Amino acid sequence: MSQHFDWAGYHILIGGEDIIDHHLHAIQCEGPEDADKTAKAHKKLLYILKEMRVRIGTMLKTDNVSFLFGAGASIDAGGFSLANIPKPLEKALIERAKSEKTGGQVPGWIELFYKSTSMLTQDKHSFETRSTLYGSPQKKDIPAIAINLEDYLSHLYLWLAGMIQDTETLMLSGDVKISINKIDIKKLIKEIKSVYTGLLDLPKAGLEDPLRSHRKFIKKILTRPLNLRRANIFTLNNDTLIEQAADAEGSVLVDGFVGTLRRIFRPESYEIDFYFPAQTTEGRVHRFDRALHLYKLHGSIIWHRCEPDWENPYGLFATFYDQNIQDDDVLIYPTPLKFGETLGMPYSELFRRLGNTIGQPQSVLFVIGYGFGDDHVNALIRQALAIPSFTLVVVDPEPKSDFVRKLEGLKDERVWIIKGWELGTFNSFIEKLLPDLREEEINAKVMHTFKELSQVSD
C-alpha cells in the first residue's frame, strides 16, 4: 500500500456535504504521513462504503424504485456519448461518401453535413480537411464536432419539414445562410441513422465480459422484496444492453410490447404482472420474482414504424436487431414529426409514465450516466423534487451540467450526488455501491452488532 492514500476518485455528497471527504480529511490531518495513517484511512473508506451500501439498500426497499440510464451506462460496452457528433459516426460517413464520389465530386449530402455543422457550431469544417485528418497518424487526437447528435438531427428534421421547394435557402442566425436541397437532406438523415444504428449494435466484439456490470445490475435489483412494486428501468439509450443482460439472467422485461411473432406496442401491457399458479388447496399464488419494467424513452434500434391499423394503433413494432435493416424506419428519437409538434407517440406516452412513476409518494430515482441535457427529462425530475418524500441519486464521474451544480448548491438531504471515477461510473457504482439485498441484510446485522459492542467497550 502506498504511503499516501488518495481518495480523489471517491465522492458521495448528501445534502451538499461530501461524506467521504468529511471523514477521511480528519484522518489525514491528524499528523505526519505514515503507513499506519494510510491504512487507517483506507479502512475507514471501506467502512463508509459498506455503510453507504446499507443506506442504498434501504432505498431499494422503498415501494417505488426507478433507474434512469444515459449514454454513460453503455460506454464500457463500446457505446459513446452523444454530447458531440461521435467520431466513429463521422468517420463512417466519410467512408460512405468516398465510395460515392464520381469524377472527384463528393456527394451533396456530405457537403451539407459539413456546411450545416460549421454554421451551427460557428467552426469551419469541410469534407476535405476532416477526411485528411481521419487518415493521419494523429486521428485519435481529432476534436469531435461540437454539437449534440440528437440536437443536430432535430435541426435536420425541422429544416426538412419547413421546405416547400426542392431547394431552399435557410437563414440560421444573423446573416448566416445555407442552401439546402431536399434530396441531400433526406439522404443525409438516412445515412446518419443507418451508421448510428450499426454503431449501437452493442456490445462490441473483443471486449472482455462486456455485459458483466449490466448482468450484475439486473441480478441485484431482482433481490428486492416481492411484496414491492416492480423496479422500473427508464433509459435514454437506443442499444439493447439491458435486454441482453436480462435474457442472460433469465429475467422477463415488461417493455410495452406484446406478441410472439410480431411484437406490437401496447402501453397498457405495463399493468401486467406475473404469478405462479396456486400450489395449495387454499388457492395461494406466488409472485414471479424475475420481472422488471423497461421504458426506452428515446426508442430503440429494434423499433420500427409501420402504418397504424386496428391491431396496431400506434404503428410501432419491435424485432430482433438485424444489421441488414438499417433504414429510416428505425424508430429512434428524434423522428420525423408533424411540424410544430414537440414530442409525439410513443415518446409522449413513455415520458408520461416516467413523470407519473417518479411523481408518486415515497419514490427513489437513481440517475446513472445521464448528463442532464434533455429538457423533457429535467422538467420531470424538477417536478418530482417538489414532493417531500422523493429521493434523487445522481451517479456521474464528472457532472458538468448546471442542473447538477444547482442541486449541489441546494444542500437538500433528499439529493445524493455520487461522483469521481472510483464511484461515479456505471460499472463502479454497480460493483461498489449497489447492494445485493440478501447480502446486505447480513451486513446490516453485523454492523449493528459491532456498533452495540463498541458502545459497551467505551
pLDDT value of residue 415: 97
74 and 151 assigned to the same domain: no
pLDDT tens-digit profile of 157-199?
988 888 888 888 877 666 677 888 999 999 999 999 889 988 9
Please report which residue ranges of 80-181 form alpha helices under DSSP H: 87-100, 108-121, 127-134, 149-161
Distance CA 244, CA 213 (A): 12
Q: Indicate whether 104 belongs to any domain.
A: yes
Handedness of CA 343, 345, 347, 353 (dihedral sign): positive
Which residue matches cell numbers 438531504?
Answer: 413
DSSP tag of 321: -
Q: Indicate whether 410 belongs to any domain.
A: no
> What residues in the chain have per-residue pLDDT under 50?
1-3, 338-342
pLDDT value of residue 341: 42
316 and 170 assigned to the same domain: no
Q: Indicate whether 238 belongs to any domain.
A: yes
Q: Indicate whether 417 belongs to any domain.
A: no
Distance CA 399, CA 419 (A): 7
Q: Indicate whether 1 belongs to any domain.
A: no
pLDDT value of residue 258: 93
160 and 275 assigned to the same domain: no
C-beta separation of 227 from 200 below 8 A: no
pLDDT value of residue 279: 61
Pick the last residue of a domain from 374, 389, 404.
389
190 and 209 assigned to the same domain: no
Which residue type, as a one-letter code, is found at position 232?
A: N
pTM over 0.85? The answer is yes
pLDDT value of residue 452: 73
> What is the domain extent for residue 122?
87-199
376 and 250 assigned to the same domain: yes
pLDDT value of residue 1: 38
Quick one: cell of 212? 458483466
Domain count, the chain: 2
pLDDT value of residue 342: 45
C-beta separation of 316 from 222 below 8 A: no
